[in-house]
Structure 1
Amino acid sequence: MGTIGELGEFGLIGRLTRRLPQGPAVLLGPGDDAAVVAAPDGRVAATTDLLVEGRHFRRDWSGPYDIGRKAAAQNLADVVAMGARPTALLVGFAAPPSTETAWAERLYDGLADECRRAGASVAGGDVVGADEVTLAITALGDLGGGAPLTRSGARPGDLVAVRGRLGYASAGLALLAEGRDGPAELLAAHRRPEPPYEAGAEARDAGATALLDVSDGLVQDLGHLAEASGVRIDVDSATLVVPESFGPDGLRHVLAGGEDHAFAGAFPPGSPPPPSWTVIGAVRRGAGVRVDGRVPDAAGWDHFRG
């Protein structure tokens, strides 16, 4: 199949769009000047993200299919964190002309398959030449008539609970940086996160007051929730699952590791979270985040600090 440079822009678009099945929310998919996506609620939850080669992924560590799955997951998770149902992705794909066509096709297979997990579709996008692979993803979602679940609704007395894995992707990244080839479960977690997409609906149905995607580390993201809500969040480390496979830095991975795309929410005392969620702490009066009563040393990810 050669390279995308040999195939040309419109030949590449044709090959990629044929790999993108469309769900019922997409009324008009790839092929026109813009896609048309149903918004029965009258409002659209929207988010966007950038992934740059060497910064967010390495092609010697992750194959194209995994990169596609990861790129879709981190955007779909943000829509779910608003309590919305993901409907569509728009994908901007930049790559060197020397990129193999088969590599690009597998990337889009990953995007399409992750969308399928969440009930969404890749509805359109753009392709351009560039010196390095870059993905610009916009995700859209439908609120289904409900109020968005924001970071600003937590109140003193609420329970804090999480849904999904914490620390796995961070532990896997550390293994790759050390040149190690296992445990396979941790490497896979870094390459292909598995957000529990049902978490948004679960949180809404349980009466959650606030919700967010844990993408940059539990402590850092809870800090965003605490700041937006004007409260303090107390975390009990004894409630956190720290697998032995994480090694001696296990608790740090759980507190500060990002990219698992778990969800953290606040729930009123009279509306406890579902059994699939784990209560890890409580909302108090004050500011910031405390772990076992202390300000934690753990810091999360910052794109400009690294």
Structure 2
Amino acid sequence: MNRKSIERVGVTIFPAHYSGPTLGEVGEHRTIEAIMEAAPSSRNGDDAAVLNHASPNSRTVATTDMLVEGRHFKVGWSTPEEIGQKAIVQNFADIEAMGARPIAALLAVSAPRHTPVDWVRGVATGIHQRVGEYSAELVGGDLTEGDQLVLSVTAIGSLGGSRPELTLDRARPGQRVVTHGRIGWSAAGLALLERYGREQVPEKFTPLVDAHCAPRLNPGRGVVARATGATAMTDNSDGLIVDLNTIASRSGVGIDLHSADICPAPLIMEAADLLDADPWKWVLSGGEDHTLLATTAGDPPSGFRSIGRVVRGERVTIDGEEPRYGHGWVSF
């Protein structure tokens, strides 16, 4: 994942228009009130949130993920609303990848004292916007002072019905490999930001920058895939080859992708020409698109497209050959 190229340097500098009171000036309780005003929920505000009882024959799904300033986002590149949206999508994508429906999120924030309250309010606004697309809510969280901006989101989902969850170990030879969403767009957007900064990126490439700063995932596609017979699923967070290799390894199979079905989009090709870069690197190792990647014995589920086959073997290939790029994001 190209996030490793984002370096943290010194103290966080917030844009000048966030000139109001800071967290250190108003304190914890007023900041929490600002978050609750931006992302209202009747379940938020007590010691813990009490969720509605799950429907019969259903299970609870939970996941958590963090965004660290300077490593996963830059204040100068992204609005706080975009950062909040990104935090939700990267967590809700993991719920969707199990074939479940996201129902709630919890937010924990560690921030320096000089962080403007309006910046935190913006993050909460972005979270509220995204959870609303799923008919979910921000139901609680935590706030503490720290030397660095860190957002941690815990997502909770509901897995209904008797079909098994979409674990990584259920791909079988002969099945299709299918995907929902774009591949390589986030990495292309990051490369443009690294070269030009947010303000100087040519306007035509705004969709690529948006894909990095505030990725989107159409709600409910994971549920649809599970309902129509998908077997294994993950999301493209660490890189296409890396994430499919995880399925291949856990399932004891090989995966052969069709180059014609994953070739870089025209806009990515134009960005690559501008930056003198190889667009296939973004497609194969970029990650952070949070595109759903699944296997199925039947036709592609609604909203999905076929990109390859599950085969006998133990690795991911493209048209039977070793991928040009096989690395991706690693945390350390």
Runs of 4 or more above 2 Å deviation: none
In 2, Cα distance between equivalents of 1:123 and 1:237: 43
Once the 2 structures are TM-superposed, how far is the Cα of residue 220 of structure 1 from its aligned partner?
A: 0.6
TM score, norm. by length of structure 1: 0.93
In 1, Cα distance between equivalents of 2:34 and 2:194: 34
Q: For residue 109 of structure 1, what is the aligned residue in structure 2?
A: 125
Once the 2 structures are TM-superposed, how far is the Cα of residue 131 of structure 1 from its aligned partner?
A: 1.0
Q: For residue 78 of structure 1, what is the aligned residue in structure 2?
A: 94
Contact kept, 8 Å, 1:232 with 1:287, in 2: the verdict is yes
Q: For residue 9 of structure 1, what is the aligned residue in structure 2?
A: 28
In 2, Cα distance between equivalents of 1:119 and 1:237: 37
Whether 1:240 aligns to 2:240 is no
> Structure 2: where are the runs of 5+ without partners?
1-19
Whether 1:253 aligns to 2:282 is yes
Whether 1:196 aligns to 2:218 is yes
In 1, Cα distance between equivalents of 2:301 and 2:235: 17
Contact kept, 8 Å, 1:169 with 1:258, in 2: the verdict is yes
Q: 1:113 to 1:296 in 2, by over 3 A?
A: same
Q: For residue 25 of structure 1, what is the aligned residue in structure 2?
A: none
Once the 2 structures are TM-superposed, how far is the Cα of residue 9 of structure 1 from its aligned partner?
A: 0.5
Once the 2 structures are TM-superposed, how far is the Cα of residue 181 of structure 1 from its aligned partner?
A: 0.7
Q: For residue 311 of structure 2, what is the aligned residue in structure 1?
A: 284
- Summarize deviations over 1:260-283 as a string: whole Å, max 9, x none: 111011010xx2113521111100
Instruction: Say which SS state the counterpart of residue 292 (structure 2) adopts.
Output: strand
Identity, in percent, stands at: 42
- Of residues 283, 293, 297, the one that matches 1:264 is 293
Q: For residue 165 of structure 2, what is the aligned residue in structure 1?
A: 148
Q: For residue 227 of structure 2, what is the aligned residue in structure 1?
A: 205
TM score, norm. by length of structure 2: 0.86
Aligned residues: 297
Whether 1:47 aligns to 2:25 is no
Once the 2 structures are TM-superposed, how far is the Cα of residue 18 of structure 1 from its aligned partner?
A: 2.2
CA RMSD of aligned residues (A): 1.4
Once the 2 structures are TM-superposed, how far is the Cα of residue 119 of structure 1 from its aligned partner?
A: 2.2
Letter in 1 for 2:304: W
Whether 1:130 aligns to 2:150 is no
Instruction: Say which SS state the counterpart of residue 233 (structure 2) adopts.
Output: strand
- Summarize deviations over 1:128-180 as a string: whole Å, max 9, x none: 01111101111000001242111111111000011001100000000011125
Q: 1:92 to 1:275 in 2, by over 3 A?
A: closer
Q: For residue 6 of structure 2, what is the aligned residue in structure 1?
A: none
Once the 2 structures are TM-superposed, how far is the Cα of residue 95 of structure 1 from its aligned partner?
A: 0.7
In 1, Cα distance between equivalents of 2:141 and 2:63: 15
In 2, Cα distance between equivalents of 1:231 and 1:196: 29
In 2, Cα distance between equivalents of 1:57 and 1:120: 24
Once the 2 structures are TM-superposed, how far is the Cα of residue 245 of structure 1 from its aligned partner?
A: 2.5
- Summarize deviations over 1:183-223 as a string: whole Å, max 9, x none: 11111111000112221122112200111111111111000
Instruction: Say which SS state the counterpart of residue 202 (structure 1) adopts.
Output: helix
Q: For residue 81 of structure 2, what is the aligned residue in structure 1?
A: 65
Instruction: Say which SS state the counterpart of residue 178 (structure 1) adopts.
Output: helix
Q: 1:241 to 1:39 in 2, by over 3 A?
A: farther
